Amino acid sequence: MKFSVLSLVGHAPHPLTGELPSAAERFHEVIETGAAAERLGFDAYAIGERHAGPFLSSSPGVILGALAARTSTIRLLTGVTVVAILDPVRVAEEFATLDQIARGRLELVVGKGAEAGHFSLFGLDEERQWDLQKEKYELLRRLWSEEGVDWDGEFRPPLKNVTTVPRPYAGPPRIWHGSATSLNSPELAARHGDPLFTANAIQPREAYARLIAYYRQRFEAYGRDPADARVAAGSGGLLIADTTRKAVERYKELYEAKVAQSFKPHLEGRAGYNTPFRTIEDAMADGPQLIGSPQQIIDKILGFHAVYRHDLQSLTVDGFGLSHGEQLETLQRFAEEIAPVVRREAPSTLWD
């Protein structure tokens, strides 16, 4: 198993105290956490992209550029790049530039995004989100793998003999497809032989298992070796304590206040937007959240792996209102007490 740390650069008041750091402080914390993740031996660090809600991650390439300058070995991922609302030419240029600066450490995770408001913000029809996603992803793929591209589509002006610059550092970076609720992303990933990154953040395990099973089935149906079907999985946040009882005592109020703060009443009933695990006990028992003792978290990740057979596990430590010091302490405990066991029990050749 490989491990990545993800930040969506949330910027909501603390769910218990109401304190709100400045935007500059949040960016500093995120960059320092990325540097710490490299020192602690994590394999990748990812920045999300949000254009609605209490987040500061509207320009992930800028943040990852700062991280590229502070790091030398850790892979830099997006989580996700909302290609459906962006110009593929600009995405190709921006992230190839980042890939050059990072000397080939970039990988993209593309998706249509987890916020309902960004399509109207960019003047796009949310009803066409999957058409936008497919066309723009396939153009991005061509721009990175070909020169002198001629292209004609529905959602942007035609291209004639276009070669985007700079070119990626050492060929096209790997592109993962983020998948949360729909079969569209698993289908697109399988069609092109790309890896799948399941959100595994809010819904019960069975919902994500269905998407992964469909992806593997379609991957093979396209005539590809099933062994090449790489899968990554997110998590609904990481909170570690010495025992299960101490985890409940320490984090119950914080977890449940954050769930209440994050609830989106206008999206109630839509899969993937509001967690059904509203108490910490429910989250620990059945949710994708990684909360509890080190052994409890080991068992949960290996439980995911038994169903998902995933290569990469993503973690988030800045989503519940922990102080920055507590976030770094959590990552260190994970790196020292949890990661070695999971790596041994569920080895992966990804990135070897």
Tell me whether strands 149-151 and 159-162 are parallel, antiparallel or unpaired. antiparallel
Mean pLDDT within 319-348: 98
Residue 97 in this model has a pLDDT that exceeds 90: yes
> In this predicted structure, what is the pLDDT of residue 71?
98
Cα–Cα distance for residue pair 107/90, rounded to 1 Å: 16
CA within 13 Å, CB half, 315: 31
Sequence-separated (6 or more) residues with CB below 8 Å from residue 110 = 78, 80, 81, 82, 83, 133, 137, 140, 175, 176, 177, 178
Residue 116 in this model has a pLDDT that exceeds 70: no
Beta partners for 107? 77
Number of Cβ within a 10 Å radius of residue 125: 10
| Averaged pLDDT score across all residues of the chain | 96
For residues 258 and 320, is the Cβ–Cβ distance under 8 A?
A: yes
Mean pLDDT within 306-334: 98
Residues listed for the chain:
352
Cα–Cα distance for residue pair 264/273, rounded to 1 Å: 7
Cα–Cα distance for residue pair 47/9, rounded to 1 Å: 8
The one-letter amino acid code at 56 reads: L
> In this predicted structure, what is the pLDDT of residue 77?
98
> In this predicted structure, what is the pLDDT of residue 335?
98
Cα–Cα distance for residue pair 279/244, rounded to 1 Å: 14
Tokens standing for 49? Answer: 């992209």
3-class secondary structure for the chain?
A: CEEEEEECCECCCCCCCCCCCCHHHHHHHHHHHHHHHHHCCCCEEEECCCCCCCECCCCHHHHHHHHHHHCCCCEEEECCECHHHCCHHHHHHHHHHHHHHCCCCEEEEECCCCCCCHHHHCCCCHHHHHHHHHHHHHHHHHHHHCCCEEECCCCCCCEEEECCCCCCECECCCEEEEECCCCHHHHHHHHHCCCEEECCCCCCHHHHHHHHHHHHHHHHHCCCCHHHCCEEECCCCEEECCCHHHHHHHHHHHHHHHHHHHCCHHHCCCCCCCCCCCCHHHHHHHCCCEEECHHHHHHHHHHHHHHHCCCEEEECCCCCCCCHHHHHHHHHHHHHHHHHHHHHHCCCCCCC
> In this predicted structure, what is the pLDDT of residue 266?
74
Q: How confident is the model at residue 52 (pLDDT cuts 50, 70, 90)?
A: confident
Q: What is the pLDDT of residues 55-87, one digit of tens each?
A: 999 999 999 999 999 999 999 999 999 999 999
Phi, psi of 45 (to 5 degrees): -135, 130
Residue 347 in this model has a pLDDT that exceeds 90: yes
Cα–Cα distance for residue pair 79/36, rounded to 1 Å: 19
Q: What is the pLDDT of residues 20-31, one digit of tens each?
A: 999 999 999 999
Residue 283 in this model has a pLDDT that exceeds 90: yes
3-class secondary structure for 221-253?
A: HCCCCHHHCCEEECCCCEEECCCHHHHHHHHHH
Please indicate whether residue 280 or residue 265 has the higher confidence score (pLDDT).
Answer: 280
| pTM for this predicted structure | 0.97
Tokens standing for 277? Answer: 């695990």
Looking at the domain 2-237+310-345, which fold is it?
A: TIM Barrel (3.20.20)
Q: What is the pLDDT of residues 262-278, one digit of tens each?
A: 887 777 777 777 899 99
Mean pLDDT within 131-149: 98
Q: How confident is the model at residue 286 (pLDDT cuts 50, 70, 90)?
A: very high
**Percent of the chain with pLDDT strictly greater than 70:** 99
For residues 176 and 190, is the Cβ–Cβ distance under 8 A?
A: no
For residues 70 and 39, is the Cβ–Cβ distance under 8 A?
A: no
